[in-house]
Amino acid sequence: MGSNVGDRWGHLTRALAELGEIEGIRVDSVSRIHETDPWGGPPGQGRFFNAACVITTRGWEPGALLDRLLVIERRAGRVRGAKNGPRTLDLDLLLMGNRRLATEALTLPHPGLPHRSFVLAPAVEVAAHWRHPVLNRTLEELWEAGPREGLVRIREDLDLIHDVRRSTHV
């Protein structure tokens, strides 16, 4: 999850709360916020707040879950514009167990996962030992071998975790 427009922390907090209110979804863990430079896209964008969470789902197929994430993005004011452009909220489905999927709308695991430090850094915090079903490497191994560009700092002063356990519905 990421945001670089408006109240970045607020967008992430509200998205987690909304995710936790959905029947059949439980938010299990949440990374710290990583502040990062934008990756690609138009120049002059603000820095992103990026985080990752692990959820447990019951009765959700990948396409339906992605559709629900897109609804949460739209509620946060997300308007699709320039590729890799600024956004109030970006929710990506990176992994779903060991599922492999390639459709027009969704690829699992997310193809950018091994190559993007702003994705790997928070993902390692919550799923370090998850093994990529195609590359046969853990997230931790991918992080150790991967890129480091764009990472600015971990925002220890901001906590996404405080209300997660209270608002989950599996």
Identify the pLDDT of residue 163.
47
Indicate the pLDDT class of residue 24, thresholds 50, 70 and 90.
very high
Identify the pLDDT of residue 161.
66
**Can 90 be counted among the known catalytic residues?**
yes
Whether the per-residue pLDDT at 70 is higher than 60: the answer is yes
Domains of the chain: 2-154 (3.30.70.560)
Q: Which residue has the tokens 């790997």?
A: 120
Compute the chain's Rg from CA coordinates: 15
pLDDT tens readout for residues 86-130: 999 999 999 999 999 999 999 999 999 999 999 999 999 999 999
**Residue 12 to residues 15, 21, 99, 115, 130, Cα–Cα distance (Å):** 5, 14, 26, 23, 23
| Identified catalytic residue from 92, 137, 159, 163 | 92
Spatial distance between the Cα atoms of 33 and 156, rounded to a whole number of angstroms:
8
Look up the pTM and report it.
Answer: 0.89
**Can 159 be counted among the known catalytic residues?**
no
CA dihedral 162, 52, 12, 87 (to 10 degrees): 170
Spatial distance between the Cα atoms of 11 and 88, rounded to a whole number of angstroms:
7
| Identified catalytic residue from 26, 68, 90, 116 | 90
Cβ 2 vs Cβ 116: under 8 Å: no
| Identified catalytic residue from 8, 26, 68, 87 | 87
pLDDT tens readout for residues 33-56: 999 999 888 888 999 999 999 999
**Can 87 be counted among the known catalytic residues?**
yes
